[in-house]
């Protein structure tokens, strides 16, 4: 779980290019596992095997990441072994162990459950491989070298602020009735998103600007197992039936787009007006919904940039160079503070969607 100082929370979001320019390299040499073949002065062979262990295909971004990793690693001259673990944690454990056996020099892990892969990443480290946590932090292990992700605490802050802004634009003065949703508790990012959002929302709950009518304010009460739409829709159905027979619902904090659409479906099914609903991931159907005036916001975390940064790390390791990081203090996984490279997320509403997706070949077509 991410540990934050007040200073870290105040860091302003800047452009990706600026982050790269100001990033500080890790001070100690990278542990890339020897030469592994003819590689000049590099850390390992230029055509080395690189393992990528991805979770279930729960969002469009994960599906896109598979293609981008396959194409990007091949284009860089590496042999890529990109695997999805749709069968769950045990399958991902077996996949990582198989990558170790095959001699992968770097293993990039997008964990299903970042707390259940300690044995496998320790095997990877013992074999001389470098372990990079991708998007989701690997927890309670010292066998992770780097973390590459969007700034997930900032994601939550942007979602919280978007909820406030959207409700104020719709109804200039409060109080506002809201409900809170969080992601799956086995995803290390879920609480980070929630904590970021609550850093914005809790003061407004305390001063009575916001009223969580159900009283369900904690992360544990707000979680959505497996990030499954049906679980979010069922919970929203229950909340509406129990708390909103006469009261109006002004806003819902949703941690991602899949859940946002499920929440909107529930509200419509109850015959209620669609409230301000946040999201994340810039999924096609949610961008359409935003442009149609239903879902209020999403977060643009361009998967292309994240995969490219992960592959850049692999290239640096292969060449025996220091790996660029820009945050060496914030991500404590319970055993160590993992050096991280964080990319800046972007809030997207109907007002800025055209600009936000101008360089996206798919989403730009939806904002014309």
What are the residue boundaries of the structural domains of the chain, listed by start?
A: 6-144+302-344, 152-300
Residues 6+ apart with CB under 8 A from 302: 282, 360
DSSP sequence for 1-19: -----HHHHTPPP--HHHH
On whether the CB atoms of residues 367 and 353 are closer than 8 A, the answer is yes
| pLDDT value, residue 235 | 98
Quote the pLDDT of residue 42: 61
Q: 6-144+302-344 and 152-300: same fold? A: yes
Using one digit for the tens of pLDDT, what is the confidence trace for 328-340? Answer: 999 999 999 999 9
- Per the document, the length of the chain is 368
Residue with token string 């929630």: 194
Q: What is the pLDDT of residue 242?
A: 98
Q: Would you state the pLDDT for residue 61?
A: 85
Is the per-residue pLDDT at 76 higher than 50? yes
Average pLDDT, the chain: 90
| CATH code for the part of the protein at 6-144+302-344 | 3.40.50.2300
Residue 129 reports pLDDT greater than 70: yes
Contact (Cβ atoms closer than 8 angstroms) between residue 26 and residue 328: yes
Mean pLDDT of 318-345: 96
- pLDDT the model gives residue 59: 78
Residue 234 in tokens? 């069922």
Residues 6+ away with beta carbon under 8 Å from 232? 181, 224, 254, 258, 259, 262, 263, 266
Higher pLDDT, 90 or 42: 90
Whether the model pTM is above 0.85: no
Residues of the chain above pLDDT 70, percent: 89
pLDDT of residue 264: 98
For the segment 49-71, what is each residue's pLDDT rounded down to a tens digit?
999 999 988 778 899 999 999 99
**pLDDT, tens only, 12-38:** 333 333 333 333 333 333 333 333 333
Contacts 24+ apart (CB under 8 A), 229-236: 229/258, 229/259, 229/261, 229/262, 230/262, 232/181, 232/258, 232/259, 232/262, 232/263, 232/266, 233/262, 233/263, 233/265, 233/266, 235/181, 236/179, 236/181, 236/262, 236/263, 236/266, 236/267
For residue 17, the model assigns a pLDDT of 36
Output phi, psi for 129, to 5 deg: -80, 155
Predicted pLDDT at 41: 42
Res. 88 pLDDT band, cuts 50 70 90: very high
pLDDT band at 207 (very low <50, low <70, confident <90, very high): very high
Q: Specify the CATH class of 152-300 in words.
A: alpha beta
């Amino acid at each position: 779980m991410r540990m934050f100082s007040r200073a870290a929370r105040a860091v302003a979001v800047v452009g990706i290019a600026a982050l790269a320019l100001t990033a500080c390299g890790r001070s100690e040499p990278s542990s890339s596992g020897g030469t592994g073949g003819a590689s000049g002065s590099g850390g390992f062979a230029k055509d080395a095997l690189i393992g990528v262990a991805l979770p279930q295909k729960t969002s469009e971004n994960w599906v896109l990441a598979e293609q981008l990793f396959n194409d990007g690693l091949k284009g860089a001259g590496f042999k890529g072994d990109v695997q999805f673990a749709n069968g769950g944690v045990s399958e991902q454990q077996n996949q990582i162990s198989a990558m170790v056996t095959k001699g992968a020099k770097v293993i990039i892990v997008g964990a299903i459950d970042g707390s259940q892969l300690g044995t496998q990443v320790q095997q990877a480290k013992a074999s001389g491989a470098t372990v990079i946590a991708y998007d989701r932090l690997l927890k309670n292990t010292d066998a992770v070298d780097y973390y590459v992700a969007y700034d997930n605490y900032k994601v939550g802050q942007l979602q919280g602020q978007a909820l406030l802004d959207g409700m104020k634009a719709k109804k200039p003065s409060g109080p506002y009735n809201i409900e809170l949703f969080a992601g799956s508790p086995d995803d290390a990012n879920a609480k980070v998103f929630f904590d970021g959002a609550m850093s914005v929302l809790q003061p407004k709950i305390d001063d009575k600007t916001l009223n969580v009518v159900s009283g369900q304010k904690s992360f544990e009460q707000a979680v959505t197992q497996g990030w499954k739409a049906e679980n979010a829709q069922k919970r929203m159905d229950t909340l509406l039936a129990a708390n909103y027979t006469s009261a109006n619902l002004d806003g819902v904090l949703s941690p991602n787009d899949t859940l946002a659409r499920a929440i909107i479906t529930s509200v419509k099914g109850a015959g209620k007006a669609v409230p301000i609903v946040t999201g994340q991931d810039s999924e096609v159907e949610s961008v359409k919904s935003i442009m149609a005036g239903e879902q209020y916001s999403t977060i643009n975390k361009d998967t292309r940039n994240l995969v490219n940064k992960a592959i850049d790390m692999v290239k640096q390791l292969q060449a025996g160079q220091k790996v660029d990081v820009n945050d060496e203090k914030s991500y404590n996984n319970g055993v160590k503070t993992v050096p991280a490279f964080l990319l800046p997320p972007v809030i997207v509403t109907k007002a800025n969607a055209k600009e936000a997706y101008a360089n996206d070949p798919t989403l730009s077509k939806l904002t014309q």
